[in-house]
C-alpha cells in the first residue's frame, strides 16, 4: 500500500498518490467533474464522496474502482413530511461494523448500514430539543465532524456549526450538548451557552479517547473528560484564536496542529471571522507538543508571505511513522509534511479551490 | 446506489403511446450512466422527468422540481405550457437545462 490523499475541490475530486517517503506525488483526476466535493473518505476499498451541485442538489457518490466509475446513493434526503430538506452533504465518516455516517446541512446526520446504498436520518439529533437555539454559520448549518470513541463504539461525537458539540453514549439514539467552557464570544449577552457555539472541527484522540481537540470560531480547545468540559488554549504562542481545521498526532495525544487565521484574541475581547486569511499574511502551521500549553511555528518550507484560506475539512494526518500532516488551500495548493511538521512540501498546486483533504492508502 | 441504467418507460397496454425524447446536459448524462438521450412513453412533462434515472437530481425529497432546473419542450419553456402537468405530444423533445446565473 502507498500513501494517498483524497482532495475534494470545487471542481471534482483529485487523488494524490505518493511515494513511500511521501515526498513525490502524482495528481490523478478530476473525478466527479462538475461537482463540489465537500469531503471524501476511503473505506474497505471504496471511496465515498459528499458531492454537491448548485442545481442538482446534495448527493453521496461511491466508487468501487478507485474513482473510475461512480454510483449515486438513492433516496438520500429527509422524510417527505419533515420540515427540513437536505441542503448539502458535508462529511462521510466510516463507523464500526461497516456502518457509514453522513453529516450535512442544515444540521443533519444520516446513517447507512448498506455501504451507502441508502441512508436513514438520525432524527434523535436532527430533532434535538435545543435545535431552536442552533444557527447557521457563514458556511451554512453544517454537521462537519463525526467522531467515535475507539474503546466504545456506542460513544460518538458530532460537531455542528453553529450548534456546538454533541455526544451520544448509546450509538446515536440520544445526544447531550458537550460545550461547557467553549465560548460564543459573538453572543456577548451569554458567551457560554449550552448550545450555539460555532465549532469548526472536533477530533477524538485515538490513543487517549477521553481527550478531544477542537478548533472553534472562538478559540482552540482541549477536553480531557470526553467533552464534559473544555479548556481554552490561548495566549501561549498562537497568533490568533480563530481558524478552521485541526490535525492531531495519532500516537502522541499531546501533539496537535492548527493554522490560525484572522487576528482575533479572545482574551482581548476580539471575535474572529472578519478576515478569513492566514494571520498576518503568514501561512503558519502551529504545532503543540505539550497538549496545547505552548505552540510553535512549524512552517519550514511553506511560503512566508501568503494570504490563504484553509477550510475546516482541509487538513488531515496519517498514521505512519513519522506522522504525515496534510492541508490544502482555497488557492489550489496541497502541502505535505512527511515528518510531523518539521518540513513541508508542496505536493500539488493550481488545483481548483480545495474543500477537503483526507488520507487514504492505495 | 443508482447505476443510471433504468429501463425505458413502457406504455400501458391498450393506451396510445406518446413517445417523447428527453435530452440531458452532460453532467446529468454522466449520472445516468453516460446516456444523454432517452425515449420515453410519457403523457406529461413531469412523468417524463420522473421516469429518468436522475429523478432524484431533478426533484427534491418533497418531489418538487429543483428551482434551478429549467425544462423546455420543443424549444418552449415548460412553464408556459402547463409546467410539470403539461401534456406531451408524440414526437416532442424535452430538454433539461441547468439555469445559468452569475459570472
- Alpha carbons A158 and A175: distance in angstroms, whole number: 9
What percentage of chain A exceeds 90 in pLDDT?
Answer: 94
Average pLDDT over residues A17-45: 97
CATH number, domain containing residue B60: 3.10.20.30
Residues of B in contact with A104 (CB under 8 A): none
- Tens of pLDDT, residues A40-52: 999 999 999 999 9
Q: Is residue B71 part of a domain?
A: yes
Average pLDDT over residues A337-349: 98
Q: Is residue B103 part of a domain?
A: no
Residues of A in contact with B58 (CB under 8 A): 56
Q: Is residue B6 part of a domain?
A: no
Q: Is residue B78 part of a domain?
A: yes
Q: Dihedral of CA A10/A16/A21/A24: which sign? A: negative
Average pLDDT over residues A289-311: 97
**What is the pLDDT confidence band of residue B5, given thresholds at 50, 70 and 90?**
very low
Please give the residue range of the domain that contains residue B94. Answer: 19-98
Cell (9 digits) for A207: 490513543
Residues of A in contact with B27 (CB under 8 A): 33-35, 53, 56
Considering its fold, how many domains does chain B have in total?
1
Pairing of strands A219-223, A231-232: antiparallel
A168 to chain B, closest Cα gap in Å: 27
Cell (9 digits) for A39: 469531503
Q: A93 forms bridges with which residues in the sheet?
A: A101
- Tens of pLDDT, residues A140-156: 999 999 999 999 989 99
Q: Is residue B12 part of a domain?
A: no
pLDDT higher than 90, residue A355: yes
Mean pLDDT score of chain A, rounded to an integer?
96
Q: Is residue B25 part of a domain?
A: yes
> A223 — phi, psi (to 5°)?
-120, 140
Report whether A155 contacts A226 (CB < 8 A). yes
pLDDT higher than 60, residue A73: yes
Q: Is residue B87 part of a domain?
A: yes
pLDDT, position B103: 54
**What is the pLDDT confidence band of residue B1, given thresholds at 50, 70 and 90?**
low
Q: Is residue B8 part of a domain?
A: no
Tell me the ipTM for this assembly: 0.91
- Tens of pLDDT, residues B59-92: 999 999 999 999 999 999 999 999 999 999 999 9
Amino acid at each position: 500500500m502507498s500513501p494517498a490523499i483524497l482532495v475534494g475541490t470545487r471542481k471534482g475530486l483529485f487523488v494524490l498518490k505518493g511515494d513511500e517517503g511521501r515526498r513525490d506525488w502524482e495528481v490523478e483526476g478530476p473525478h466527479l467533474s462538475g461537482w463540489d466535493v465537500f469531503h471524501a473518505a476511503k473505506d474497505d476499498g471504496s471511496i465515498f464522496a459528499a458531492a454537491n451541485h448548485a442545481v442538482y442538489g446534495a448527493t453521496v457518490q461511491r466508487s468501487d474502482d478507485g474513482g473510475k466509475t461512480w454510483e449515486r446513493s438513492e433516496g438520500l434526503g429527509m422524510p417527505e413530511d419533515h420540515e427540513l430538506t437536505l441542503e448539502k452533504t458535508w462529511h462521510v465518516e466510516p463507523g464500526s461494523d461497516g456502518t457509514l455516517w453522513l453529516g450535512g446541512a442544515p444540521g443533519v446526520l444520516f446513517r447507512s448500514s448498506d455501504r451507502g446504498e441508502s441512508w436513514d436520518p438520525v432524527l434523535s439529533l436532527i430533532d434535538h430539543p435545543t435545535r431552536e437555539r442552533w444557527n447557521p454559520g457563514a458556511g451554512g448549518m453544517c454537521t462537519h465532524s463525526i467522531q467515535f470513541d475507539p474503546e466504545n463504539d456506542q460513544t460518538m461525537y458530532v460537531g455542528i456549526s453553529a450548534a456546538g458539540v454533541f455526544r451520544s453514549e448509546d450509538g446515536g439514539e440520544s445526544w447531550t450538548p458537550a460545550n461547557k467552557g467553549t465560548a460564543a464570544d459573538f453572543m456577548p449577552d451569554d458567551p457560554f451557552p449550552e448550545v450555539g457555539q460555532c465549532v469548526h472541527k472536533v477530533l477524538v484522540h485515538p490513543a487517549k479517547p477521553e481527550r478531544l481537540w477542537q478548533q472553534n470560531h472562538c478559540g482552540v480547545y482541549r477536553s480531557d473528560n470526553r467533552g464534559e468540559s473544555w479548556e481554552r488554549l490561548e495566549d501561549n504562542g498562537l497568533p490568533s484564536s480563530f481558524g478552521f481545521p485541526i490535525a492531531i498526532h495519532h500516537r502522541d495525544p499531546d501533539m496537535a496542529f492548527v493554522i490560525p487565521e484572522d487576528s482575533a484574541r479572545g482574551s482581548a475581547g476580539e471575535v474572529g471571522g472578519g478576515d478569513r486569511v492566514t494571520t498576518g499574511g503568514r501561512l503558519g502551521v502551529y504545532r503543540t507538543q505539550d497538549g496545547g500549553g505552548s505552540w510553535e511555528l512549524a512552517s519550514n518550507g511553506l511560503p512566508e508571505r501568503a494570504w490563504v484560506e484553509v477550510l475546516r475539512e482541509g487538513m488531515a494526518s496519517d498514521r505512519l511513522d513519522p506522522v504525515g500532516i496534510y492541508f490544502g488551500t482555497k488557492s489550489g495548493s496541497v502541502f505535505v509534511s512527511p515528518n510531523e511538521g518539521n518540513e513541508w512540501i508542496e505536493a500539488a498546486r493550481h488545483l481548483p479551490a480545495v474543500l477537503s483533504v483526507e488520507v487514504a492508502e492505495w | 446506489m443508482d447505476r443510471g441504467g433504468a429501463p425505458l418507460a413502457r406504455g400501458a397496454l391498450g393506451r396510445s403511446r406518446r413517445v417523447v425524447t428527453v435530452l440531458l446536459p452532460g453532467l446529468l448524462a454522466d449520472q445516468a450512466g453516460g446516456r444523454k438521450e432517452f425515449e420515453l412513453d410519457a403523457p406529461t412533462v413531469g412523468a417524463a422527468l420522473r421516469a429518468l434515472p436522475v429523478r432524484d437530481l431533478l426533484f427534491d425529497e418533497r418531489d418538487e422540481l429543483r428551482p434551478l432546473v429549467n425544462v423546455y419542450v420543443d424549444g418552449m419553456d415548460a412553464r408556459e405550457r402547463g409546467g410539470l402537468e403539461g401534456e406531451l405530444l408524440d414526437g416532442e423533445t424535452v430538454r433539461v437545462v441547468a439555469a445559468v446565473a452569475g459570472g
